[in-house]
Amino acid sequence: MAKFIFRVFLAVILLFLSNRVNGKANFKDVEEKLKQLNKPAVKTIQSEDGDIIDCVEIYKQPAFDHPALRNHVIQMKPSFDLKELKINSKNESSKLTVFQTWQKSGSCPEGTVSIRRIRRENLLRANSAQQFGRKPQEVVLKSNTTIEHKDGQSPFFNNTKFSMPTIVNRSAATLVTVGYNYIGAKADINVWNPNVESEDEFTTAQIWLKAGPGDNFESLESGWMVNPQLYGDKKTRFFAHWTKDSYKTTGCFDLHCSGFVQTSSKVAFGGALEPVSTEFGQQYYINVGIFMDPNTNNWWLKIKEDLIIGYWPASSLLFYLNHSSTIVEWGGQVYSPKVKKSPHTKTGMGSGQFAWGLQGNACYMDNIAIVDFSMQLKYPQWVDTWVDEEYCYTAYNYQEGYGTLPVFYFGGPGQNYNCP
C-alpha cells in the first residue's frame, strides 16, 4: 500500500514537473510514446557515456509499427555489390575512422538490432510528444519567387542558374549537384564537435538525397549532428532522417518514428561518435553512403566501407524516391531561430572554422561520389557550392592540383565580426 501511494505520489510529481517546468510535452502522451518507441530488449548494454543500447529482436523493431510495413519481409543485405572507388589518393594513413562509444561496453547478439533507448527526459524536452524526433518543417521565405539572396550565391549547373530556397531558421553551406537521376551518394565526412549555443538549435554535417516538388519534397539524410534537445547533450552523434513531405508531417530522425528498417546489430542511430578531430591534430571521419538497391528499391545506408545499417523501403514509404533522387547535397546545416538575423547565433558549423582553413582546420568531405543508373560510383558532373550566409558559414570546393578531385570544405563559427 505504501508503495502504491508512493507511486501515485511520484506520478503526480512527474505530471506536475512535466506540465510546470517544461510546459511542453503532455505526461500521458510521453508515457505512451515511450512505450511505443522502446521495444522490449533481449539484451541491454549500458554505455560508459550514459546511453543505453537495447538489442531488439529484428522483427520487433519500430519499422513494423508503420501501417505500410506490417507484413514487410526484411532484406538482410543488398542485392548488389558496389565496388568502392577510392577516387581520391589522399593521405589515408592520417585518416582514421571513428566508432561509437557504446561499442566498448558490449555487442548485440545476431538476430537483433541495436537501438539507443529513448528516455523520458528526452521526450520532455520536445515541444510535444508528437513532434519529438522530427526536424522542424522547412518554411520557405518566398516560395514562388526566385529569391535574390542578400549574402548567398545561387549555384550554376550546365550554364543554368539554379535557385535554392531561403528557409526560415536554417543556414546551410553545401555542395549541390542536379541534372541527372541519382541512385546513390557518398562521402567521407570529417568528424568534429562544433559549439551549439542553446538547446533549441542543432548543427549537422550530412548528405541529402532529395526528389519531388520544392514545397513537398522527399529526402533521405545521414551524417553526424550535435543536437542537445534531441539527445540531451552536446556530443557528436551519428544520425539519419527521412521525410516525404518536406518535414511537414512524415519522417523523423533515427528510429524515432517507424519507417527505416535496421539490419545491423553493430551501429545504433544516435550513438555518440568518438574520437572527434582536433585542430591540426588527428583527423577522423565516417564513410556515409546511401544507395538504392535496383532490385528492391530499398535505399541502403552505410557508415563504413563494410558496415551496413539498414534501409529505407522506398516502394512502401516514398513516391519520387521510389525511382531516383534528382538533387544531392553534401555539407552542413545549422538550425536556429537566430540565423539570418542579428544577433546571430554562435552555433558553429563543421569544425566551427571557415572553409578556407582547409585540411586540419575546416571540416571536409572527400571521396564524394554519386551513383547513376550505370551503377558506377563517380564524381558528379556538375557541382556548385551554396551558402545562405557567407559571412557566417562558408563553402569551398578546393582542388589541390590538376587531375585530383576536389575536396569540399565547409563551416564557420556563426556569429563573428562580419556576422554580428
Ligand X SMILES: *[C@@H]1O[C@H](CO)[C@@H](O)[C@H](O)[C@H]1NC(C)=O
Footprint of ligand X on this chain (CB under 6 A)?
A: 91, 93-94, 136, 139, 144-145, 158, 168-169, 179-180, 200, 297, 315, 319, 322, 337
269 or 300: whose CB is closer to ligand X? Answer: 300
What is the three-class DSSP state of 357?
A: helix
Give the shortest CB-303-to-ligand X separation in angstroms.
24
CA-to-CA separations, 51 to 115, 138, 176, 408, in angstroms, rounded: 10, 30, 35, 32
Helices and strands of the chain, counted as H and E runs: 5, 24
Give the shortest CB-167-to-ligand X separation in angstroms.
8
Q: How far apart are CA 31 and CA 33, in angstroms?
A: 5
53 or 363: whose CB is closer to ligand X? Answer: 363
Give the shortest CB-266-to-ligand X separation in angstroms.
28
Which distant-in-sequence residues (6+ apart) come within 8 Å of 147 by Cβ? 141, 163, 164, 165, 166
89 or 158: whose CB is closer to ligand X? Answer: 158
203 or 265: whose CB is closer to ligand X? Answer: 203
**Are residues 217 and 410 in contact, defined by beta-carbon separation less than 8 angstroms?**
no
Give the shortest CB-267-to-ligand X separation in angstroms.
27
Give the shortest CB-127-to-ligand X separation in angstroms.
9
319 or 356: whose CB is closer to ligand X? Answer: 319
User: In 254-297, at which residue ranges do the beta strands (DSSP E only) sit?
Assistant: 261-262, 273-274, 283-292
Give the shortest CB-317-to-ligand X separation in angstroms.
8
Give the shortest CB-233-to-ligand X separation in angstroms.
20
Q: How far apart are CA 258 and CA 323, in angstroms?
A: 21
Provide the residue count of the chain: 420
Burial of 236 (0-12, 13-18, 19+ CB in 10 A): buried
Q: What is the dihedral of CA 240, 244, 249, 252, to 10 degrees?
A: -10
91 or 342: whose CB is closer to ligand X? Answer: 91
**Complete DSSP assignment for 290-350:** EEE-TTT-EEEEEEETTEEEEEEEHHHH-SGGGT-EEEEEEEEEEE-TTSSSSSPP---BT
Give the shortest CB-373-to-ligand X separation in angstroms.
13
In sequence order, the β-bridge partners of residue 147 are none
303 or 407: whose CB is closer to ligand X? Answer: 407
261 or 267: whose CB is closer to ligand X? Answer: 261
337 or 420: whose CB is closer to ligand X? Answer: 337
What is the three-class DSSP state of 65?
A: helix
**Are residues 38 and 49 in contact, defined by beta-carbon separation less than 8 angstroms?**
no
Own/partner contacts of 148-151, CB < 8 Å, gap of 24 or more, are 149/388, 151/387, 151/388, 151/389, 151/390, 151/391, 151/392
Give the shortest CB-91-to-ligand X separation in angstroms.
4
Q: What angle do CA 170, 310, 225 make, to 5 degrees?
A: 25
104 or 142: whose CB is closer to ligand X? Answer: 142
Give the shortest CB-70-to-ligand X separation in angstroms.
15
372: its cell numbers: 547513376
